[in-house]
Amino acid sequence: MSILDLVRPSLAGMSPYKAAEQVVDTVRLNANESPFDTASEAFRRPLNRYPEIRPQRLRQLLSTRFSCNNDQLLVTRGSSEAIDLLIRAFCAADQDNILVTSPTFSMYAHYARVQGADVRDVPLVKGEDFELDEPALVNAIDRRSKLLFLCSPNNPTGTSLPRETIERVLEIARGRVVVVVDEAYIEFSEASSVTDLLQTYEHLVVLRTLSKALAFAGARCGAVIADATLIGVLDAIQSPYALSTPVVECVEDALTGDNIQRAEAQVSLLVSERERVRTELLALRTVSRIWPSDANFLLVEFANVESVLAATRDAGVLLRYFGGELTNCARISIGTATENDAMLAAVRATETTP
Ligand code: PMP
């Protein structure tokens, strides 16, 4: 079975939107653009012209960074857009379903609902490190299952799935469902990307983003990495000119020169701050548990989460509360040492207030 057999039948053979041709050193009278370039001083490319339909140099830079072939990668507006594209490519409304493993990133379920796809939840086993419930996962996959989202390191738990687990899931899923491994936070972990497994598993998709370790959330840039035939399908449904000229140039700059080294140094700093914050929080009576984290945040369980949230808010520090199965927990992103100290002081103060 080919991965294309799982794509919505109505999309079979769909070709990309035929945009106006773009050829260097030609007079462009084919795209109804303005001939007046008045707004471009801050940019290398003219803003009166449409951007490239797909940004080729950026694609090349990202393929090099994420160790895949050019034709295995599509540049997306954040990995959020990649999630949306995948669900639209595979799930027919009111028929197909996706599988998620809660607690996890809520955008998978969000975009499934937008598309009218059912969401099957196979909760992680909370315990020590939110393990995958493999027998339950096997039972949950049916003929209408199209995509299984695994997030590693997982948001909001911070825990990672061992590579062997991901490989076992890929074996189980072969010929049945596409496995999407979301590696948004992988740079903060010791684990290496599973992109190399694309050679073995045609039904593997990897998501990467520049929003976390590369510190470019405002640029909205990510990538979906998969078998070249599947990338062709996603390419056909992504909007033409999806990435704007200013974004393409700013991300190209981020991926060249000293920027990468600077980002790597920042990641090391955040990882060491994560461990300092963990140690300081664990010394507090109000903290009942902190899960191991491979990401730039900690999931912390408190005896008194309401007072922690109120105290941090009063101190001008925002934490993330999810409720549900994480009812006594808050997710705390790691900031600068000063920001982390402000958070720690506010949490500490809840232990002395009656
Ligand atoms: N995946 C995960 C696990 C995330 O936590 C996020 C953002 N919080 C995203 C994907 C989306 O990131 P972006 O669209 O900024 O690339």
Q: Over the stretch 294-352, which tens digit does the pLDDT of each residue have? A: 999 999 999 999 999 999 999 999 999 999 999 999 999 999 999 999 999 999 999 87
Residue 354 confidence class, pLDDT cut points 50, 70, 90: low
For the CA of 212, the nearest atom of ligand 1: 15
How do 178-182 and 145-151 pair as beta strands? parallel
> How many H-runs (helices) and E-runs (strands) does the chain carry?
10, 10
- Predicted local distance difference test score (pLDDT) of residue 12: 82
Question: Does ligand 1 lie within 6 Å of residue 181's CB atom?
Answer: no
DSSP code, position 223: E
Q: Please tell me the distance between residue 207's alpha carbon and the centre of ligand 1 in angstroms.
A: 9
The answer on pLDDT for 30 being more than 90 is no
Is the CB–ligand 1 distance for residue 156 below 6 Å? Answer: no
pLDDT tens track for 201-251: 999 999 999 999 999 999 999 999 999 999 999 999 999 999 999 999 999
Exposure b/e, 103-119, CB count within 10 A at least 16 = b: bbbebbbebbeebebeb
Atom 5 (ligand 1): residue with closest C-alpha? 155
| The pLDDT of residue 83 | 98
Ligand 1 center from residue 318 Cα (angstroms): 19
pLDDT score at 133: 97
Q: Is pLDDT of 183 > 60?
A: yes
Q: pTM for this structure?
A: 0.96
Residue 312, pLDDT score: 97
Q: What is the pLDDT of residues 251-292, one digit of tens each?
A: 999 998 889 999 999 999 999 999 999 999 999 999 999 999
Helices (H), the chain: 56-65, 78-90, 107-115, 134-140, 163-173, 228-237, 245-254, 259-282, 305-314, 337-352
Question: Which residues have C-beta within 8 Å of that of residue 19, sequence separation ≥ 6?
Answer: 31, 50, 53, 240, 241
How many percent of the chain have pLDDT more than 70?
99
Q: Is residue 39 over pLDDT 90?
A: no
Q: What is the pLDDT of residue 52?
A: 95
Q: What is the CA radius of gyration of the chain?
A: 22
Q: What is the rounded CA–CA span in Å between residue 39 and residue 349?
A: 51
**pLDDT for 306:** 96
Instruction: Provide the pLDDT confidence category of residue 102 given band limits of 50, 70 and 90.
Output: very high
Q: What is the pLDDT of residue 331?
A: 97
Mean pLDDT on 73-100: 98
**Mean pLDDT value across residues 110-125:** 97
Is 155 a pocket residue for ligand 1 (Cβ < 6 Å)?
yes
- Best residue among 75, 76, 80, 81 to mutate for probing ligand 1's pocket (most ligand atoms within 8 Å of CB) is 80
**If you measure from the C-alpha of residue 257 to the centroid of ligand 1, how many angstroms do you get, rounded to a whole number?**
25
Which atom of ligand 1 is closest in space to residue 77's alpha carbon?
A: 14
**What is the DSSP track for 77-104?**
SHHHHHHHHHHHHH--TTT-EEEE-SSS
Question: Is the beta carbon of 151 within 6 A of some atom in ligand 1?
Answer: yes
Query: What is the structure's pLDDT at 232?
Result: 96
Query: Would you place residue 88 in the very low, low, confident or very high pLDDT band (cuts 50, 70, 90)?
Result: very high
Q: Which residue has the higher pLDDT, 161 or 12?
A: 161
The overall average pLDDT reported for the chain is 95
